Structure 1
């Protein structure tokens, strides 16, 4: 599709367009009403007769199946409203109909300009009304609503702007793309959206309506970036301010311009190119739009007289009677009319005779300039169809086509034969064709004398219109080029290559626990036991939970989503030849599945008997589980509470703070890897009662992250202190010096459900029940609070042993108030002295203190 200006030198069609825009009902309303009429309607329905209305009551208007929507931005102190005029009544919403006074306090001072633009959307469940409030909360918003049986406003959805001052919602347009009478898209303009250079580039948000009747954001359309003057610029190109494009100032749903069965959209950018303006054309596709514009129409004509080209657009009518919708574009100083050119489908096909090149095939031998070789006839067929209904089938159109052999090679292995005796790898031809005609042409090429089998011979065909500036344009959805290949085979005198491929595949693992970027290798052996297997290919398809990495040794491989094809032994795998290779994968953490599936298949262009095909493929299935990448921490690791000798407790408890010291424990579960985190549960077990049924730890509170739920039953503040009161009467017991755990005491527990999240926390608060420990006989006691993290879905996920349990030790100590009594010291000294005397007496009795006389020898005596 292309639009061309149908008015010489941009002639102005102002009066004509004025009539085109007016529908009969709208004309009647605008002629018979004035702003005072609408003001009176709103005043009759409003409780505040003084402040309900202002000027500018009819800034937008939309004809619907029920009547006419009138936007009144000046109503209610410029907060605005929308009036629905039906043939029998006027429906005027109240002041608070479009906002919630409880959650949107202060709305009345915002001057949101509701009703700046209005639209309606047809859905299977009824009519939706849509209006914009571009100044609401300074960022703007769009309100989607219905009318109930009593004609009251029922808001279905609110779409919010994202930038202050962007005027989001100032321009609205609904589009029925697929022509099924139901709305498919809502386009919301934000023409003052600031670009990176703080210029008003503007953008258009595209929302698609879902099966529930709600609009979902699909993508955002933006114009070509405009260069603007800046303080540091040496050269300033733009003369007018503000700089930018204001893309989205006008949005028009235009009838099918390219005759593909889908309606299209035109968007104006009147400030583009230094306020000259431009219009962007987007084609419909399916139930949506193509994100890339197919045509940009810049302003033409006299720049001094016409500015802001694209500030208004209309494209519904066929103005020149050729059966195709035309587009009128308005600007300051004039209006331009663009005629739509017809669209033609040109489909091409290419066949070869012979379909395979066999060098021994005698009947395909030809001679050129004294050289004999194999020749191939290429037949190229074209079918030409004009889409519009008003077409002249007697008019012929000039078509060109180019044929090229071995386009990707530096030196071609074949050349086309020309009538003048010349040969070249590329030829160009032209011919005439009419609407509805099919035309076929033939060309021949000769193979080189010495032919290599490295890859098939590729023939490329590209084609188009000789004169693209006149007549129809070609359908952009159809290809303009075709590439086809011819296999090269050498099968001997019987002309049949009967191969027998066999394949074996062995994975590096049989089962797997995936922790992070795990690797998987598959060793493959391919063997051919008969004739040459030409163009042997190994096809490996795999489940989406793994990614292809590479093949060793390196092969010529082509990856297409979850399938990889590799050429093996190219150009052929010879008789009794074996190839061994290894395909490497790594884990794709974005997809979680119970098994890794890998299918391996070997094929070739040669024939193979059906009886030998059973071993041409292999299926591999590897059961897997995923280790949840989690960090499970607890703080603090231990707590210490001291009970002083003689400490007393209150006779009556009326608040949990009177029970004893507070013990706060925080459990944190944090996601670390890319693998999806499963739903978890956290079970906290703690010693609640002693052997004599006295409280040990008293649960007072649990705080969690959003979406985390803890089922505690009646454990939290089980005595319901505050408002209730409790009189503690602990039974005296001997706790001893030991570790209190759930192995020797019945413990209480509760379970928290933790959904998938980046980080989740559970904060548990206990109170040490002081009366039990003040009364009991003990000196030092340890209590364990255990937490166990588990996975609900054990079919897919596992936890590492280091991430399963965490314990907090609560130490309770009892200390005395005074020192050691003095008589203890005197008695200890006396006992010590008595023991020392007893030891000395025993040693004396044993002769320990007697000295043995020395005996001298005769030599010593003589000396």
Structure 2
């Protein structure tokens, strides 16, 4: 042993089978500490075992305490203190190790004990006399630097297998004993009775002072619960409607039995044991409470404090319940908890090993026809409320279920529904019942094809019947078969008879699809034919494009057929027609069978295309293309009425075609709601007829307006107009000639008039026009003025010759 190991810093002695043992500690050995076990040989002491510490500086072995736990004169345990053992994360200082002494006189590590303290726990370890009366020695451990060097002592009760219990039973603070104490717990001893009361006392040393701690008598207290009557009568329990009426349930008797475990002398106990106890009815239930104290429905708990002095003390309590109790299967649990009420004058102590609670179960009576065996006779019937299961967005599938009990009370009754995983129970309501029925449905973890609903737990009464309306949410993305089967079973914990408590039914499944059929804007809506077209004798091309859209999330097969006329009135005909499906390799051919509305006799054709898949969120185009013309157009223009050659003529033909999109109506159902504008407006377009067929989302009609326009004959109009104009001019000219409009009126100048007067002398006979010779002496100017007036009168329409006018003037 090294010189600086402090060998002998602590020592303890023991005995094993009358062989003396010697323990010594070397807390600085190898900086971790060591404990050495010596046993006596024939002539000398030999080292039997060495125990090494594990933490540097922990001072392992600074305190040793050998313990004869059961007082049989054999050392059972060795307690080793390491007061400087440090746990930085938990801020704990000090630890004690408990070693068991084996039959081979070897120490075996059994337990390590520490407390949340920085007070050098384990500086002192002392074996005490039996404090609690269990026949085992107890241990006191000092922590003198705890609580800012005030100190503390920890009491550990003995344990036959581990030496001491892992948690302390009492913590005694030096500050609580006396103010000003320092290093309380630096030295401890507790093997004798200092007060002569039959109870061991403990002496604790501190800086400059020693304190004696007196022991108190320890009592075991046992609680007992009993009730009357032995069963709760269910005769008056009923739930036709919700009611607050109460019924007496049982009378509860609470008894406490007290016995001292220590061996105190008579008169050591000068006061009773104060306890506080609490009674709780149906403590596990969070709702639907079934019992309470007195008539206060909220009084589920009752607390009381009492000082026990007698060996047996009893109390009676009346417990009531509501008239409407749904659970009459599970017993009503009544639980009692009690503890000691400590005060400064407390003289007795409740043993920590006392069972501080009591529980009793109060059962309900069973009404069974045969002794205590209830035989329920459950019968299940159900029906689907729709002819098919429609798989659609946000859709529900409703089922009506009837459950009847023709036998005794049925316990833990439930409805088990087996269905495809694509159905998920949404809600379940009571439609009608013979009495109030409570139910609850729970999802089974990881189970998608089964739903379990509890019915009137725990008892479904005899001669009860209820009809439930169950609603299942339909998963749209589940892979549905053509039909599904559903099995509903009535289950209980009773023994059932041969009545039908299970039923299976099937129903056809239909899938909702979405489809919109529209006519594209690029389709031909108007054509016209003129005389120029007749000269060229070339037909015109017409195109009608139908779009079939699937805005839904489900693909489905479709059949497409188009019908259109090949001949119409006014010799209008269609040739070289062709139907093609875009985005698909589908073939289209003329149908063999005709319909009443479209037949070869009516010059009508039906084109049917092979079945193809209309993918989800996609569309396809079906195009009808053909050549159209008016047959014998030249001959028609040639033989036009004479009058219409001047006025012109026109003929209008309305060419109508229609498309019909078919699908499996047994498997699919078309959504009746209007489709999204993504695939075409819901408003009528100019080339859509708006006929009743448009109300059917699978049909659509298109109309093309065709006009034959014959313009007036311009050359004929010009020639006729010219001839008639010339004729009119001739007639007007003749009339004007007859009226003398073309006779010329001469106007003479002044010089010509003078010359004329000079040419006729005064003796000359009057001319043949009757003019009278005027005297030469008349003023010529007056004569010219008068001649001018006569000329003006001639312009007014007077056709009298100038000579006549002059004659008249004379």
- Scaled by the length of structure 2, the TM-score of the pair is 0.44
- Scaled by the length of structure 1, the TM-score of the pair is 0.41
**Rg (Cα) greater in structure:** 2
